[in-house]
Each structure stands twice: as C-alpha cells, then as structure tokens.
Chains A and B, each alone.
Chain A
Amino acid sequence: MIETVYLSIVIAPLLGALIAGLLHRQVGRRGAQWAALLGVGLSCVLSFYVLYRFVFLDQPDFNGNVYTWMAVDGYGFYVGFLVDHLTALMIAVVTFVSLMVHIYTIAYMADDPGYQRFFSYIALFTFSMLMLVMANNFLQLFFGWEAVGLVSYLLIGFWYKRPTAIAANLKAFIVNRVGDFGFLLGIAAVLAYFGTLSYAEVFAGAPIVAGETMEIIPGRPSGVITVICLLLFVGAMAKSAQIPLHVWLPDSMEGPTPISALIHAATMVTAGIFMVARMSPLFEFSETARVVVLVIGAMTASFMGLVGIVQNDIKRVIAYSTISQLGYMTVALGASAYAGAIFHLVTHAFFKALLFLAAGSVIIALHHEQDMRKMGGLRKLMPVTYWTFLIGALALIGFPGLSGYFSKDAIIEAAHLSNQHYSNAVYWTILSSVFVTALYTFRMVFMTFHGEPRMDDKILSHVRESPAVITVPLLMLAILSVIVGAIVAGPLLFERWFGDSIFVLAQNDVLTQMGLGWHGPLAFVLHAIRNPAFYFMLAGVFTAWVFYIWKPELPGVIAKRLSLFYRILVNKYGFDELYQNVIVRGSVGLGRFAWRYGDQALIDDGLVNGAARVVKQASASVRRIQTGYLFQYAFAMILGLVALLSVFVVWQVYGV
C-alpha cells in the first residue's frame, strides 16, 4: 500500500509534465496548468501524508527496487526508492515549495506564450527532484542529478530569444558537467571498491573499505573513501554553487523568477547538500574530505556574501545570498553537523523561495524591472509583498525566533564546537558573514521598499499589489519562514529525528554536544543576547540603515575610498573573466589549433594527401576523358558481384 503512495508521489508530476508538454495543443493553457497543478498537488498531499506517518506513526523505512535497469557482469543496476526520515522531509519540502511555485506561476506567467511549456518543465523538474531525493542507489541519484540539470538548462533558457538567457543556460550546463565529471568518477570509484551502487550495501561496507588505499599517482597511496568523497563533492560543488564552480548560479537568474525560487534557491541547488548528508556514512570516514568541505563552504559563505553587497539587480542579490547560504550548509556538512545542514536547507527553502517570489511580485508590478536603483518606496503600494519580503529578510539574517535564526545559529555553533582543522578560522569567517548577510539583505529591503520611489511616473502610477495567486503563496511561505525553525529545531538537531538516515561518528558529533545546552526553543531565543551572532546581525542592519536611509551618499564615498576592494567585488573576483578568457577561449583555440595543424596539416596534407594528390590528379584527368563512366563501371561491378553471389545462394539454398 505504502509502495503505491511512494510510486504515485513520483509518477503524478511526471504525468502532469507529459500532458502539459506533449499534449499542450490539445489541452490548452488551462488544461496544461491543471495537469501540472494536480500532478504536483497530489504529490504534495501524499508527501505530507508520508511525512505525517514518519513523524507520528513510526513509519518504518522503505528500501526497494522498482525495476532492474540493467544486470550485467554480476552488477545490478536498479531504479529504486529509499524512503526514510531524510527522504520524507525532503519530499515534503520539495513538493510544497513546488506547489507554491505552480500556483504563483498562474499569474506570473499569465501573459507568456510559453505558458504550457513552462508548466510542463516545472512539473518535470518536480519529478526529477523527487527521483533524486528518493533514490536508493548512486545510479538513480545520478539520473535525478542530471535530470534536474536538464530542466534547469531548459528553464534558464526559457526565454530563448534573449542572448543572455541562452548564454546563461549553456554556462550552467557546462559548469555542472564539470561537477558531474567528478561525480561520475566518484560513482565509478564506489562501484570499483564496493562492487555495488546500492546505498545500503555501500554504507554497510564503508567501515571495511575505510582502511583501503589506492594509488592514483603511482607510489602515493590515498584513502579510497577520501578519493570517493572528494570526487562526489566536486559534483556537489557544481550543483550547490560552491567556489570555484559557483559562477553559473548568478547567471541563472536569466530564467523566469518562479524557477529562480524553486530550482535555483529552494531545491535543486541544495541537491549537493542533500547528497553529502545522504553520504554521511562515507564522509564520516574521511577527515580530509570533511576539512575540504568545511573550508570550501566557509570561503563560499563569506566571499559570495560580500559580492551580494554590490549587486543592483534584486534577483542577483538574492542569488549571491543563496550561494552564501549554501556555503553555510556546506560548513555544517564539513563540521559533521549533517542534520544542521539539512535543517538550514529546509528553513532556507522556505524563506529564500519567499524572497524570490516576493521579488518577482515587485518585478512584475514594475513591468520586469529588476534594478533596485529604479525601485524604492513600494512599502505602502505593495503591503503584502512588503511584509512577506520583510519576514523573509528577517529569517535570512537570523533574527531571533524566526526560522533562519535556529538553523544558522546551529551551524555557527557547530563550527565553533568542531575539532576539525581550520574550524576556528571557519567559525570566525561565518560569524562575521552574519554581518554581511544582514547588510546586503537590508540594503535590498531599504532600496526596494523604503525611501522615495525612483521609477518613472508612468510605471509608478500602475504599481499595485499582486493578485491572490501570488500573495497566497507568499503568505504561506511567510508563515512557514516564521514558525518552522522553532518547531523542528529540537527534534531535527538534538533528538536524532533522522535516526539512521544520518550517520555521525561519536567523536565528531557536535550536535549532541550542542544539545546539552538546549532547553527548548524559547530559551534558545532568549539566549540570543548572549550570542555574538546577534550583534553582528544588528550591526549589519544598522549599517544598511545608515547607508541607504540615513546617509545615502555614503556608499558612493566608500566605494571611491576603497576603490580596489570595490572593484574586486563588482568584478566578482574575476572568476567569470578568468573562465571565459582562459578556459573557454583556450579550449576553442586549442580545438582550432588541433584541427588546423593536427588534422589538416599533419594528417591530411602530410600523410593522406601525399597519396591522395597523386590519385586525385590522375582521377581528374580520367574524369575529363570519360566523365561519368567511372561510376558506371563501379555500378557494373557491384551488379556483377550481387548477381554472382545471389545466383549461388538461390541455387544452393533452394535448388539442388
């Protein structure tokens, strides 16, 4: 019975996508919209039913295969599901945010000629994401992993006439492929050393394989588990936009805003975080890998947050914020606080989807204006959007009591308590980033909603609050952004709600250590005043207020004074330029060079045409003498051959 529920959760959005996509002409706009909505809606209801069973009814884990993808060479490759506490939580978050985005889309994309296509894509995305989080083996994980990448590619390039959109989606796909390069090699290493791709078997075998080494560079053995984890993490770095593979995510903002919320904030980009948490039984056995994870996460959290301060496109601010927050989650993973990472993933999914959707509400009200310098003063004109955006912003900066407070504080505390190498530096880095987060977030709030309106009068006169299909998802997400932290912090972080889904070695278990000081959510909120993060946050908001409300001329002065620093941030540390000029141009240049000098000059002119030229000249003269005859001879030859052989066959088989 429960198997049918699991299968339906996956199949329903797929059916919706197929109907909306392949039959878009037959079912029309409304038909496509309802097909996707009902598919994802059903999936969401069932997912919450599953979550309910796991929370209240002690639902046992499910681990089973649906069908054999391929059985070869003693290996079994399957499509199958693992539904445990981690999965149950993930599917609820994914389908809920997806449903909100589906509803929101009705209004946001109302005038778009690609209405059906859009619904088809986002339903297909939901299917792919569910396949990813419900996988019970690495192969299916990779399936889902690539499928969400495909849909992301299609959606970033949704407005395919825009040159920037189709440049961004190509970039997103290729950068993610760099990650997949590592990811697939990681899977190959798993298969080579475990002989299976099934999670259960691999995790069971991890303690045994933990002692093995392999020689990638002859004579220099490295731990097998370390190699596997680092390779898998390369995949996570691309998907979850960690330095230096983060470059695609800001550009992905070229896609329609609903998908920025769903794919590039709440769900797909967190797939890397989810994957590492899922692989905790492997990562626990590699300290080296965890140190790398920790450091990369901290660098991403702080460097990308800083870039957010100098962005003027509202979606890009939120995008850099997303990268920075993903960095926080990565830090949690590196500190073995996997549950903390997932907790922040969940709260972030709600408040970041909320911020994106609210930003979209602003963008659509201003006729697709995304530049914050042309916004301002929208507080009174769009009250629902303003208040929900503000809630999202407060949750993001970790205002005490809101969901982000619980999850982010857990991560900072985990880094504090961790015994990993560099954990001290990491702690101070992410603590100071709290200031940065508050600064860019409230810069955005003030520039968008406060002060004087800076758009032209014509647009201003048309600004009004968005319709219910937009504000209702905002309100729903706002409610969750407020309450979800307080409700789930205890069970998720300290009461081992995840059970066997997440594995932590006793000596790394920072969350249990932290749990000793846990006296319920209220005490935790009150504890804020003794917490340095709280003051970093207040300082950030205050600074934003000074810069963008009280003394708006200050940012310009500072930018001039610190022009080097400012330019580094505006240029985003030069990653894009480096990649474009060195890697992209270099590759194409190398290709041209290889083609011209390798294929054409060396092989063709050197080896082949030496011979060919002689024949060609000869044939040219032959051709002049008896045009066309050459081929007739050839025809005669082939006819003769066929005739000869077939006479024989007919004679032998049917004759004598």
Chain B
Amino acid sequence: MSQLPILSIVIWLPALVGVLLIVAVRSRQTARWLALLTSLVTFGVSLQLYAGFDTSTAAMQFVEHRSWIPGLNINYALGIDGIALPLILLTTFISVLVFISGWSVIQSRVQQYLGAFLILQGFMSGVFAALDGVLFYVFFEGMLVPMFLIIGIWGGPNRVYATLKFFLYTFFGSVFTLIALVYLYFSSGTWVIAEWYVMPLSLTEQTWIFLALLVAFAVKVPMWPVHTWLPDAHVEAPTGGSVVLAAVMLKVGGYGFLRFSLPITPDASSELAWLVIGLSLVAVVYIGFVALAQDDLKKLIAYSSIAHMGFVTLGTFAIYMIARQNSGMQGAVLGLEGAMVQMISHGLISGALFLCVGVLYDRMHSRMISDYGGVVNTMPWFAALLVLFAMANAGLPGTSGFVGEFMVIMASFKANVWYAVLAATTLVLGAAYTLWMVKRVVFGDVGNERVATLTDINGREALVLGSLAVGVVLLGVWPDPLVEVMHASVDQLLNQATQSKLAVTIVQGG
C-alpha cells in the first residue's frame, strides 16, 4: 500500500498511546499533554478522510486489507463509506473535547483515566471502520471494557450497580450478536460483511438473525424497553464518560442497523419494521413523558437521549412503510439520511449538554435540578450556551437538532401519517422537559448561597462548549455538506435494504 493507512492510524495511534500512558507514563501533566496531543493529531488525520473522500461512489474508501487469521478466513479489513465517515469524524472530534474538558477535573489515576479514553476512542473508530465481522465484533466488545472501567473506577457512589447493569445489558446483547455473526460465517464461509449482503437467506433465517442483532443494537441505541441501563450509567459516569457514551457509543446501535440489519436481512427488516417503528415511537412519546418527571440533570438528559435516538430508528425503518405505500420510494433516503443526521446532531448536542452538567457539577457537586436556580445571574456566558444547547435539544430550526427531526418527520409522514403525528409530539414534549429544566436551573433569582458563589466558565470550558456551539449552529444553518457525503452510500444501502433475498418476492403491503 502506497498510501498512509489513515484508518489504522486513527484507530491505533490513540489506542497505543493509551497503553503507553497506562504502563509507562509517571507524570500526570505529561500524560495530559500526551493525551491531548494524540487526540489532536488523530483528529487532524481523520480530517484527511473527509478531505480525500470521494462523494460520487458508494464503494468503501481508504480500504486496508490484510489476512489476520487465515485458517478462519478472518481479515483485518478496514474501510469507510459515507455512513461511517461522519461517525468517525464525530468520534475524533468529541474525543479532543473530552481531553480538554477533563484537564483538571480528574485527579485520581490520571494516566489510567486518559489511557482508557484513548483506547476507547480508537476502538470506537474501529467499530465504524471494520469491514470484517470478527474485527467488528472485537472492537464492538472491546470498547465496552474501557467504558466499563471509566464508570467503575471514576464514577459516582453507585457506580458498581450502574456498571453491572450496563455490563449485563450489553453482554446480553453481545451474546446474540456473536451467535448471529457465527451463523452468518458458517452459512457463507466468509467474515466479509459486504459478502453477507448478497448471500441468500430464507425468511426464517433472516428473522432469527434480525432478532439477534436487534437485541444487541437495541440495547446500544438504547430502545425502549431495554434502555434503563442508560440513565444509571450516565448518572454514575464521570463527565467525560457521559459525553462519550451519549455522543458516540449510542450511535453504534444506529450504525449497526444500517450496516448489518438492513442490508443483510432486508426481508426480515421489512417484515418486522412495525416492531422497530413501534418501539421507536414509544421511545419518543413515553420517554418524553418520563423525561418530564426527572429531578436529576443527568437522568433528564439521558432520557432525552433515548427519545432523540428514537428518531434514528424511526427514520431507518420508515423506509419499509414508504415502500408499502406503492407511491414511489421518494422519502426513504430522507428517512435514512435523517437518521444519520440525527445521530451526528445528537452527538454534538447531548455531548454539549453533559459537558454543561459537568461544568455545574465541578462547581457545586450536585446534579439535582432543585439545588440550582438563577445560574444566569452568576454565570451569564454559561447560561447563554446552555440555552442554545437546550434550544437545539428542543429541535429549534437553525440548530442541528432541527435537521434530523425535520427529515425524519417528513419521511415518516410519507410512511404513515400517524407515525409523523406521534413523532412530532417531540416538538411539545422535547421543548417542555428541556426548557422546564432551563427555567429551574438557569433562570430566576439566585437560588441559594452556593449559586451566588458560582464563577462563570473559564477559557478551557468556553473553548469546548464554544466549539460545540459552532458545530450545532453550522449544521443547523447549512446541513448540506453533511448529507452530501452520505448520498451515494445511502442510495446503495436503500437498494440493498429493499432488495428481497427470497426467491419468491413477498408481496409488499400484504
């Protein structure tokens, strides 16, 4: 290979530096600088992916291919398309912010903390870049370990419970994924994911594989009713952990549907679309109400995340209902790309919101809404940013939060009017729980003496929140560059996802 293996660098540079930090670096300050530098370099390198990306093709790009375990046909195969690229950029971007924001917050076992994050970062990029089933699975599982540690070691008082719950849920999902992947391997003789797209599978096979993958991805997203690990994990995780969890890790679930479920089991996806759509709408409406009842800032944002991720799965599976309308497939791409945009946007917004909670927590050591009130009096710049992110969370046009919701609502209207009606309740519910929180935390007279002593954000915090604000507004005002990289890949995905694998085509709409 004459080119630089950019994807390998994006994955292994942080992972290796992470190991180095854990085993060899003694000075905390060195560790901090090294971690920041690594993430900056990685982000810089990942920008090369964007710069060199060819938007005209759906083929995998920046492909690296090496035999890994020849006896089992396992390959070290990496590559990205228009679906993976934005997610990798999101990963590398958010990681930089995590290192800046956590600069002086974590004081115990700094090297291990930073090391775990770097490894996590590398693995997450690996998940999005893997073209081989085993490699995907290794990253998919591997990234859980550092997160598990981050919550378990640097988490809050109830961290063991949260970690276990997190572990149990994801482990539960992983087992099924592994079975599905192994089955696919034995039926096809290959671990190449793209090969699985074209292998014939009966409806029964597809259904089982679909359900197995659904369990794993639904836990990750998370979808109702396998979501209850998320609020606990967020509450106990340190700020950086929450940010990465919300901003990137949840996206693995949404990505899984796009990379595996839709193209590998198109007929089962179509047959069971009602199920996923139903769960998505429950997430939007039911979780919206649950979010209203939260007294804990992190839980509120966690529930809000679940509701927002409901749009990802709704947009993804709405394509099958559009197909059944027999009025052309226009709207389907809108749904799929809407799901993608929603993932990127939610990454920025939820990351920003958790960072905002972190800013408050660092000063007050409380996550309870009732401990605040009138923060704007002492932290005007912070308040301005929090209001911006809250508005973005409520889907205000001009912010990225609007774009994905808009696209998915437009698409689901074509699928079924009632999907759109239920999804659009987020306009009211999302605004209600987010802005009610803002009212209780930000506005009002100074709530208590501790709020009176708060100091506004420092330069470091301003840099982190400011860059997210720029991203949120930029994507809201001009989302075209983001969707442009997806078009070719999403078109191809739509073809694969709606092309029946069965000899006798199922009559749609029956």
Contact = CB atoms under 8 A, between A and B. Distances in A.
Contacts of B432: 174, 177, 587
A195 B229 CA distance: 41
A143 interface: yes
A147 B397 contact: yes
A173 B430 CA distance: 11
B424 A181 contact: yes
Contacts of B427: 177, 180-181, 184
Contact of B168 (A150, A161, A612): A612
Contact of B397 (A143, A173, A214, A650): A143
A70 interface: yes
A591 B15 contact: no
B471 to A, nearest CB: 16
Nearest to B231: A599
A73 B337 contact: yes
Given A69-B480, A192-B413, A612-B165, A594 B293 contact: yes
A631 interface: yes
A525 B148 CA distance: 81
B32 to A, nearest CB: 19
Interface stretch (B18-26, B83-91, B97-105, B255-263): B18-26
A147 B398 contact: yes
Interface stretch (B188-196, B236-244, B325-333, B501-509): B325-333
Nearest to B407: A72
Interface in A152-208: 153-154, 157, 160-161, 163, 166-167, 170, 173-174, 177-178, 180-181, 184-185, 187-189, 191-192, 195
A373 B164 CA distance: 65
Nearest to A153: B435
A634 B68 contact: no
Given A68-B480, A603-B228, A73 B330 contact: yes
A29 B357 CA distance: 32
Nearest to B335: A73
A522 interface: no
A649 B76 contact: yes
Interface stretch (A281-289, A407-415, A560-568, A615-623): A615-623
Given A177-B427, A649-B76, A72 B376 contact: no
Given A70-B403, A72-B487, A147-B398, A646 B12 contact: yes
A67 B337 contact: no
Interface in B260-297: 286, 289-294
Interface string A46-73: 0000000000000000000001111111
B353 interface: no
Contacts of B439: 166-167, 170
B228 A608 contact: yes
B12 A649 contact: yes
B140 to A, nearest CB: 12
B142 interface: yes
Interface string A586-611: 01101110110011000110011001
Interface string B388-408: 000100101110001100110
B333 A192 contact: no
Contacts of B334: 72-73, 75
A140 to B, nearest CB: 9
A506 interface: no
A163 B443 CA distance: 9
Nearest to A611: B168
Nearest to A157: B443
Given A157-B443, A170-B436, A646-B16, A73 B228 contact: no
Contacts of B152: 630-631, 634
A192 B322 CA distance: 11
A173 B483 contact: no
A111 B421 CA distance: 47
A70 B398 contact: no
A240 B33 CA distance: 55
A653 B8 contact: yes
B478 interface: yes
B408 to A, nearest CB: 10
Interface string A137-148: 001001100110
B377 A645 contact: no
Contacts of B44: none
B292 A638 contact: no
A637 interface: yes
Contact of B421 (A71, A185, A607): A185
9 contacts: A70-B403, A72-B483, A139-B406, A142-B397, A153-B435, A160-B443, A603-B228, A634-B148, A650-B12
Interface of A: 67-75, 139, 142-143, 146-147, 150, 153-154, 157, 160-161, 163, 166-167, 170, 173-174, 177-178, 180-181, 184-185, 187-189, 191-192, 195, 214, 216, 587-588, 590-592, 594-595, 598-599, 603-604, 607-608, 611-612, 615-616, 619-620, 623, 630-631, 634-635, 637-639, 641-643, 645-646, 648-650, 652-653
Given A143-B397, A154-B387, A180-B427, 13 more contacts: A166-B443, A178-B428, A181-B425, A181-B427, A188-B409, A188-B424, A591-B290, A603-B225, A608-B168, A608-B169, A634-B148, A639-B19, A649-B76
Ranked nearest first, the 6 interchain pairs of A and B with the lowest CB-CB distance are A591-B293, A188-B413, A73-B333, A591-B292, A591-B289, A166-B443
